[in-house]
Amino acid sequence: MTTSAMHDDHHHEPPAGWQRWVYSTNHKDIGTMYLIFALVMMFLGGGMAMVIRAELFLPGLQLVQPDLFNNLVTNHALIMVFGVVMPAAAGMANWMIPLMIGAPDMALPRLNNLSFWLLPMGGTLLVLSMVVPFFGGGAPVTTGWTLYPPLSTQAGMGMDLLIFTVHILGISSILASINIIVTIVNMRAPGMSWMKLPIFVWAWMFTAILLVLIMPVLAGAVTMLLFDRHMGTSFFDAAGGGDPVLFQHLFWFFGHPEVYVLLLPSIGVLGTVIPTFARKPLFGYKPLVGGMAFLATLGMVVWAHHQYTVGMSLAATKYFMIVTILISVPVGLMIFSFILTMWRGAMTFETPMLFAIAIIVMFSFAGVTGVMLAVVPADLQYHDTYFVVAHFHYALIPGALFGLYAGVFFWLPKWTGHMYDEKLGKIFFWWTTLGFNLTFFPQHFLGLAGMPRRIVDYNIQFTEFNVVSSVGGIIFGLSHILFLYIIIKTVKGGEKAKDQSWEGAMIGTPGLEWTLTSPPPHHSFTVPPVVK
Amino acid sequence: MQSKKKLFALIGFVPIFMFGFAFAMVPLYGWYCDVAGINNVQSAEREPIPSIKNIEVGHERNIKIEFDATLHESVEGIVSEFRSLTPSITLSPGDVHSLVYRVKNISSNPLVTQAVPSITPWWGGEHFKKIECFCFEQQTLAPGEEKEMGLQFYVHPDIPENIKTLTLSYTLMAASEMTKSASL
pLDDT value at residue A2: 40
pLDDT value at residue B181: 56
Q: What is the mean pLDDT of residues B105-124?
A: 88
| Residue A525 CB neighbours (<10 A) | 20
Of B3, B11, B37, the CB nearest to A212: B11
pLDDT value at residue B44: 44
Name the pLDDT band for B33 (thresholds 50, 70, 90).
confident
Query: What is the C-alpha separation between A248 and A13, in angstroms, rounded?
Result: 50
Mutate to test the interface with A, among B19, B21, B35, B45 (most CBs of A within 10 A): B19
Average of per-residue pLDDT values in chain B: 83
Q: Any residues with CB less than 8 A from the CB of A308 and at least 6 apart, and which?
A: A317, A320, A376, A379, A380, A383
pLDDT value at residue B184: 47
Q: Any residues with CB less than 8 A from the CB of A433 and at least 6 apart, and which?
A: A358
Name the pLDDT band for B5 (thresholds 50, 70, 90).
confident
Helix/strand/coil (H/E/C) assignment for every residue in A138-152: CCCCCCCCCCCCCHH
Are A147 and A78 in contact by the 8 Å Cβ rule? The answer is no
Q: In this structure, is residue A462 part of a structural domain?
A: yes
pLDDT value at residue A381: 93
Chain A: closest CA distance from residue B49 (Å)? 17
Q: In this structure, is residue A524 part of a structural domain?
A: no
Q: In this structure, is residue A36 part of a structural domain?
A: yes
Low-confidence ranges of chain A (pLDDT < 50): 1-9
Closest CA to A100 of A205, A176, A9, A208: A205
Are A165 and A129 in contact by the 8 Å Cβ rule? The answer is yes
Of A186, A220, A221, the CB nearest to B4: A186
Q: In this structure, is residue A8 part of a structural domain?
A: no
Domains in chain A: how many in total?
1
pLDDT value at residue B37: 65
Are B49 and B82 in contact by the 8 Å Cβ rule? The answer is no
pLDDT value at residue B52: 57
pLDDT value at residue B74: 86
Q: Does A216 touch chain B (CB under 8 A)?
A: yes
Query: Which CATH number do you get for residue A278?
Result: 1.20.210.10
What is the rounded end-to-end Cα distance, in angstroms, of chain A?
37
Would you kindly state where each structural domain of chain B is located, as residue ranges?
Answer: 2-44, 63-183
Query: What is the C-alpha separation between A34 and A53, in angstroms, rounded?
Result: 28
Q: Taking CB atoms and an 8 Å cutoff, what residues of chain A touch B9?
A: none
Q: In this structure, is residue A6 part of a structural domain?
A: no
Q: In this structure, is residue A17 part of a structural domain?
A: no
DSSP assignment of A372-440 equals: HHHSHHHHHHHTTBHHHHHHHHHHHIIIIIIHHHHHHHHHHHHHHSB---HHHHHHHHHHHHHHHHHHH
For residue A361, the enclosing domain spans: 26-515
Query: What is the C-alpha separation between A329 and B76, in angstroms, rounded?
Result: 70
CATH topology of domain B63-183: Ctag/Cox11 (Pfam 04442) (2.60.370)
Name the pLDDT band for B1 (thresholds 50, 70, 90).
low
Higher-scoring residue by pLDDT: A373, B62: A373
pLDDT value at residue B120: 86
Are A305 and A321 in contact by the 8 Å Cβ rule? The answer is yes
pLDDT value at residue A4: 44
Q: In this structure, is residue A522 part of a structural domain?
A: no
Region of A118 (left: φ > 0; alpha: ψ -120 to 50; beta: rest) is alpha
Q: In this structure, is residue A13 part of a structural domain?
A: no
The half-sphere exposure of B15 on its side-chain side, counting CA atoms within 13 A, is: 23
Residue B92 confidence (pLDDT) above 90 = no
pLDDT value at residue A83: 95
Q: For B150-165, how does the pLDDT look when each residue is reduced to its tens digit (9 = 90+)?
A: 999 988 888 888 888 9
Are A215 and A181 in contact by the 8 Å Cβ rule? The answer is no
Q: For A116-134, how does the pLDDT look when each residue is reduced to its tens digit (9 = 90+)?
A: 999 999 999 999 999 999 9
Annotate A355-377 with b (16+ C-beta within 10 A) or e (fewer): bbbbbbebbbbbbebbeebbbbe
The mean-pLDDT minimum among A391-395, A451-455, B29-33, B97-101 falls in: B29-33
Q: Does B9 touch chain A (CB under 8 A)?
A: no
The half-sphere exposure of B138 on its side-chain side, counting CA atoms within 13 A, is: 12
Annotate A316-339 with b (16+ C-beta within 10 A) or e (fewer): bbebbbebbeebbebbebbbbbbe
